[in-house]
Amino acid sequence: MLNQETLPINYVNSSTYMLPTLHSFKGELNLYLGRVENNVGRIVKLSFEDIHKHASLKDLEKEILASGEQGCFDDNGVVPVSIVNNGNDIYLYYVGFQLGVKVPYYMFLGLAISENGGKSFGRYSQVPILDRNDGELYARCGAFVEKFHDLWHIWYIGSIGNGWTENQDAKKLPLYSMRHGISKDGINWSIDNKLCFDFESEDEHGFGRPCVIYKDSIYKMFFCIRTYSSGYKLAYAESQDLKQWYRKEHMLIEYINSQTKKDFDDQEKCYPNLIKLDKDYLFFYGANSCGKAGFAYLQVPEEFI
């Protein structure tokens, strides 16, 4: 049975860090985060050891990537979404934000590359590697990238319809779904025409950055759903071919969704990310206000994944 005694959740309160993204390189485990101040993000890196000790994160963070140049797609902030080792290089995929005039903002996927083990990163390009197209005019972002069977795979969030919707208070909200694509180099992508899955109710209007692993001969996706009524909540899906996904219940997701901490994650849980340790998995997720309230993590025995 899953409970706080058998599977304790560690809470890290923060008003600045969001989108926790785990990465392991040559035995070193780090967490990349978007540090958001005045609604502008930059990417910082922290060691998991420091986080686990609940050390002062601000004093230990290292800046990895700042906002782009004026007029570029990422001139109003950047946040990390996925990190992949490519030989001796590290590929850091990030979302770049740019403010709009007739719409609130635009979000597109950029790439930064490290050639020195993560000590520093440089932009691959001043333009997105997933730029707008006729069907996705406002957002192609929220990506997870991984290599399976000698191919790079991407799952990302792309705008649909007119790209925007409104809640009952007439606040504009993004309208987007999830797509999949493949690549030979992790940069140039061939995208499937079919969506990964549809909305299951009229309350849903989007999805959030997923994370995909292969276990027990099944591809498993942990992701989040964005709703009109209650913001983000964690969800789960399975696939046999990495393209067609089936949303299902999962005991770990049900357990995390059932645990709440007042003024922390009692309204939202979002942007799950996990990584395999020796015998366990490390599972992170963001809290209220799209993760601006902080993040939480738990070490999960393999049988519960």
Q: Which domains does the chain have, with CATH numbers?
A: 16-296 (2.115.10.20)
Confidence of residue 304 (pLDDT cuts 50, 70, 90): very high
Digit-coded pLDDT (tens) for 4-25: 777 888 888 877 888 999 999 9
Digit-coded pLDDT (tens) for 276-300: 988 899 999 999 988 888 899 999 9
Confidence of residue 55 (pLDDT cuts 50, 70, 90): low
Q: Answer with the residue of higher pLDDT: 184 or 167.
A: 184
Question: What pLDDT, on a 0 to 100 scale, did the predictor assign at position 52?
Answer: 66
What number is the average pLDDT over the span 261-278? 92
Question: What pLDDT, on a 0 to 100 scale, did the predictor assign at position 13?
Answer: 81
State the burial class of residue 207 (Cβ atoms within 10 Å of its Cβ: 0-12, 13-18, 19+): buried
Confidence of residue 2 (pLDDT cuts 50, 70, 90): confident
Question: What pLDDT, on a 0 to 100 scale, did the predictor assign at position 139?
Answer: 97
Question: What pLDDT, on a 0 to 100 scale, did the predictor assign at position 292?
Answer: 83
- Which residue, among 112, 65, 115, has the nearest Cα to 87 in the 3D structure? 115
Whether the Cβ atoms of residue 263 and residue 284 lie closer than 8 Å to each other: no
Q: What rounded mean pLDDT belongs to the chain?
A: 92
Q: Are strands 218-227 and 204-215 parallel, antiparallel or unpaired?
A: antiparallel
Decide if pLDDT at 59 tops 70: no
Report the C-alpha gap between 61 and 36 in whole angstroms.
13
